[in-house]
Amino acid sequence: MRYELFELSVSLEAVMNFPSLDALAEIGLATAGYGRLSYLKRQQEYPRSQEVAEACAFLGADGLRVPSARDLSQGNLIVFREQSTEMEKAIVRSHGTVDFTRAGP
């Protein structure tokens, strides 16, 4: 699996922010194994995560910020492109092609 990786600058109107694992636990996510499950066991994490995302989108959010499963000091931004809010985006730079079939750095 090869993809081109871009760094983006994004401006959204209504982002729901869950800054920590504690915030995710408060809304019912099982955080004990957060980011530790293999792709094959993803169904143990995904259903509640998707319910939360659907609720946020229903409430009008155009994005969701959550802790990164790989590095809790960082965050991930999920953008709901279907929303009717204004979104500004720009490509900051291309990091080139990334091969996700290779293990390690």
Domain membership of residue 104 (yes or no) is: no
How many angstroms separate the CA atoms of 96 and 73, rounded?
A: 25
Range of the domain at 76: 2-99
Nearest to 76 by CA among 92, 65, 87, 61: 65
For residue 85, the model assigns a pLDDT of 78
For residue 1, the model assigns a pLDDT of 79
Instruction: Tell me if 52 sits within 8 A of 45, measured CB to CB.
Output: no
pLDDT of 61-90, one tens digit each?
999 999 987 788 888 999 998 887 778 889
Q: How many domains does the chain have?
A: 1
| Residue appearing with tokens 């999920």 | 78
Domain membership of residue 16 (yes or no) is: yes
Domain membership of residue 46 (yes or no) is: yes
Domain membership of residue 105 (yes or no) is: no
Domain membership of residue 6 (yes or no) is: yes
**pLDDT above 80 for 21:** yes
For residue 37, the model assigns a pLDDT of 67
Domain membership of residue 42 (yes or no) is: yes
3-state secondary structure the chain: CEEEEEEEEEECCCEEECCCHHHHHHCCCCCCCCCCCCHHHHHHCHHHHHHHHHHHHHCCCCEEEEECCCCCCCEEEEECCCCCCCCEEEEEEEEEEEECCCCCC
Token pair for 99: 């091969």
